[in-house]
């Protein structure tokens, strides 16, 4: 009887497997392994810091329980060097009747990364002062998830859904519109497993996307859940939007117009007095080749809505902010010289709020600071990550002193900034390319700062608007069709915005080896 039962179960399983296989037209497996070696010096812009320093801070929009978050000076007077690996495996399955599915799994980790204060696990916790394992883990100072597998993509695509021009994508997916100026990446570092989060491979959205293809018109509508918060509570972060694109039949020209709505009820704590923090972003983008081997592009966007910046904000404040990105690329010499030189120039502007008073609780007036939304396009190796992943000594001292009094992040490079980029590239051989960038940054509005290493009793204002300049050099060598090597060397030279003790040059060297299959 047991033998008969076993045969029946195997027969049913075989039938099920056979039917599933018959419904699958093709399955493709692809992926890559990227190994980076990072060498970094003075990322806090203070060469006199001999070791990592940290502060527990009560930050606006922090832990709803009121517990402080920990922010870390990543600086050292010696070179900090470590390795990290990103491994990705993707499965693309084409099924019947215009149905397909994509799943991508990945792992990203520092090599044998441990807690910054020693080995720490839930069963054998360590503490820093009175801070427990759980608080340290929440602050990103405990790394015990380095071998976890992350679900990065998992979506179903239905082509010609109900109507032949309509394609529907449902699930965890990548979203990128235009140059990624507004919506391009939802950057995450699950488990805090990498110490250079700008290199995270997790940029996907949990979203529903409907695409209408009326060639040359394309219309996209999206709805994405960025943060769920507590189920059934009004503490979510959501994104809605419509993007309309058109491709012209002359000058290789294209144009897009869009509206994206970020409803961010997760940005402030539950005991907030004002509840509406919304960002409506409308914009227009276009590019064309008016002359052969020349491309010009421009994008401008405007933001409006309601601004809530902190827990106890007393007054209603409106938003009114805008951004601009214009660029030109010259490929004329690429056809003339053996090294195929390409030149480019780009200017980016983000408006900034002009209030420097720390008394934000009763602050009034229109908020003019630009919100980065879900920007995917970044042009520099160092400066553009400041205020998000890294802070100078001056920046952290200011945050620590202002505490909950001012939510403005003085070092946020995605707002209150002029940015100029001069770029060029050459290709000495078919397999070797060299890219160079010079970038300069200015603040739009003066901001208040605390003098580093001094008794924090006053805010320094009108120090100057030049934030600094950066030089990035990158070499890429295609060893084979599957393997490539890269070397990035970057320097950021702080400008007059930064005072003594926070104006030392940052150096960043990143060597990369990538295998794709």
CA distance 424 to 86: 28
Count helices and strands (H / E) in the chain. 3, 20
CA distance 323 to 300: 6
CATH of the domain at 82: 2.40.160.100
CA distance 369 to 445: 10
Closest CA to 108 of 186, 184, 34, 204: 34
> Residue 18's CB: how many other CB atoms inside 10 A?
10
CA distance 395 to 43: 12
CA distance 511 to 36: 6
Q: How many domains does the chain have?
A: 1
Question: Based on the number of CB atoms within 10 Å of its own CB, is 447 exposed (0-12), middle (13-18) or buried (19 or more)?
Answer: buried
CA 276 from centre of chain: 24
User: Phi and psi at residue 191, in whole multiples of 5°?
Assistant: 75, 0
pLDDT at 70: 43
Cα-based distances in Å from 117 to 113, 121, 142 = 11, 12, 8
Task: Report which DSSP code applies to 188.
Answer: B
pLDDT at 355: 61
pLDDT at 147: 86
For CA atoms 121, 124, 125, 127, give the dihedral sign. Answer: negative
Taking the model in full, what pTM does it have? 0.85
pLDDT at 364: 76
CA distance 380 to 439: 7
pLDDT at 452: 53
Q: What H or E segment, with its residue span, contains residue 17? A: helix 2-22
For CA atoms 127, 133, 136, 142, give the dihedral sign. Answer: positive
CA 314 from centre of chain: 31
CA distance 92 to 121: 37
CA 197 from centre of chain: 9
Closest CA to 496 of 465, 452, 455, 453: 465
Please say whether the beta carbons of 171 and 156 come within 8 A: yes
Bridging pattern class, strands 69-72 and 54-57 = antiparallel
Q: What H or E segment, with its residue span, contains residue 100? A: strand 99-110
- Please provide the DSSP assignment of 270-287 as one string: TT-S----EEEEEEEEEE
Range of the domain at 293: 2-516
List the pLDDT tens digit at each of the 517 positions of the chain. 444 454 454 444 444 344 444 467 899 999 999 999 999 998 888 887 654 444 444 333 333 334 444 444 444 456 788 999 999 999 999 998 899 999 999 999 999 876 444 444 444 444 444 444 445 555 555 556 788 899 999 999 999 999 889 999 999 999 999 999 999 999 998 888 898 999 999 999 999 999 999 999 999 999 999 988 777 666 789 999 999 999 999 999 999 999 999 998 766 555 556 667 899 999 999 999 999 999 999 999 999 999 887 666 777 889 999 999 999 999 999 988 999 999 999 999 999 987 655 455 567 788 899 999 999 999 999 999 998 888 888 877 776 665 544 555 678 899 999 999 999 999 999 999 999 999 999 999 876 666 655 554 555 555 778 999 999 999 999 999 999 999 999 999 999 988 888 899 999 999 999 999 9
Beta-carbon contacts of 213 under 8 Å, excluding residues fewer than 6 positions away, are 165, 167
231-257 pLDDT per residue, tens: 766 678 999 999 999 999 999 999 999
The torsion region of residue 66 among left (phi > 0), alpha (psi -120 to 50) and beta comes to left
Cα-based distances in Å from 230 to 59, 234, 262, 270, 422 = 20, 8, 18, 11, 46
Question: Based on the number of CB atoms within 10 Å of its own CB, is 101 exposed (0-12), middle (13-18) or buried (19 or more)?
Answer: middle
Bridging pattern class, strands 254-264 and 166-173 = unpaired
pLDDT at 61: 38
């Amino acid at each position: 009887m047991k033998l008969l039962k076993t045969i029946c179960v195997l027969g049913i399983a075989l039938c099920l497997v056979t039917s599933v296989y018959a419904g699958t037209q093709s399955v493709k497996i692809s992926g890559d392994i990227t190994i980076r070696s990072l060498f970094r010096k003075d990322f806090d812009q203070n060469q006199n810091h001999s070791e990592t320093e940290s502060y527990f801070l009560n930050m606006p929009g922090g832990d709803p329980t009121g517990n402080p978050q920990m922010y870390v000076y990543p600086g050292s007077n010696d070179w900090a060097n470590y390795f990290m690996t990103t491994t990705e495996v993707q499965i693309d399955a084409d099924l019947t009747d215009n149905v397909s599915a994509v799943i991508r799994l990945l792992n990203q980790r520092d090599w044998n990364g441990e807690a910054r204060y020693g080995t720490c696990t839930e069963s054998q916790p360590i503490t820093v002062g009175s801070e427990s394992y759980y608080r340290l883990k929440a602050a990103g100072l405990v790394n015990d998830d380095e071998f976890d597998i992350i679900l990065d993509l998992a979506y179903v695509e239905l082509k010609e859904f109900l109507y032949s021009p309509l394609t529907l994508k449902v699930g965890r997916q990548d979203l990128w519109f235009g140059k990624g100026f507004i919506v391009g990446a939802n950057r995450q570092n699950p488990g805090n497993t990498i110490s250079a989060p700008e290199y995270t491979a997790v940029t996907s959205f949990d979203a529903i996307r409907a695409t209408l293809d009326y060639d040359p018109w394309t219309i996209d509508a999206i709805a994405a859940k960025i943060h769920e918060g507590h189920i059934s509570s009004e503490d979510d972060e959501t994104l809605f939007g419509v993007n309309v694109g058109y491709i012209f039949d002359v000058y290789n020209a294209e144009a897009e117009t869009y509206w994206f709505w970020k409803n961010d009820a997760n940005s402030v704590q539950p005991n907030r007095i004002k509840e509406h923090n919304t960002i409506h972003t409308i914009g227009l983008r276009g590019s064309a080749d008016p002359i052969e081997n020349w491309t010009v592009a421009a994008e401008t966007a405007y933001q409006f809505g309601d601004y809530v910046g902190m827990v106890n904000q007393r007054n209603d404040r409106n938003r009114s902010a805008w951004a601009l990105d214009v660029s030109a690329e010259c490929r004329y010499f690429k056809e003339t010289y053996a090294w195929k030189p390409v030149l480019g120039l780009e200017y980016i502007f983000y408006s900034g709020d002009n209030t420097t008073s720390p008394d934000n609780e009763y602050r009034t007036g229109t908020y003019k600071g630009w919100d980065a939304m879900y920007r995917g396009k970044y042009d520099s190796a160092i400066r553009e990550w400041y205020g998000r992943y890294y802070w100078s000594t001056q920046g952290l001292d200011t945050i620590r002193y202002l505490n909950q009094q001012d939510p403005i992040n003085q070092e946020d490079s995605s707002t209150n900034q002029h940015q100029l980029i001069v770029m060029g590239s050459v290709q000495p051989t078919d397999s070797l390319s060299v890219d160079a960038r010079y970038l300069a940054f200015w603040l739009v509005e003066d901001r208040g700062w605390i003098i580093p290493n001094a008794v924090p009793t006053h805010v320094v204002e009108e120090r100057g608007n030049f934030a600094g300049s950066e030089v990035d050099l990158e070499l890429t060598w295609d060893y084979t069709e599957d393997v490539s090597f890269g070397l990035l060397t970057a320097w950021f030279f702080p400008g007059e915005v930064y005072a003594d003790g926070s104006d030392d040059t940052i150096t960043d060297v990143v060597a990369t080896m990538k295998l794709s299959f």
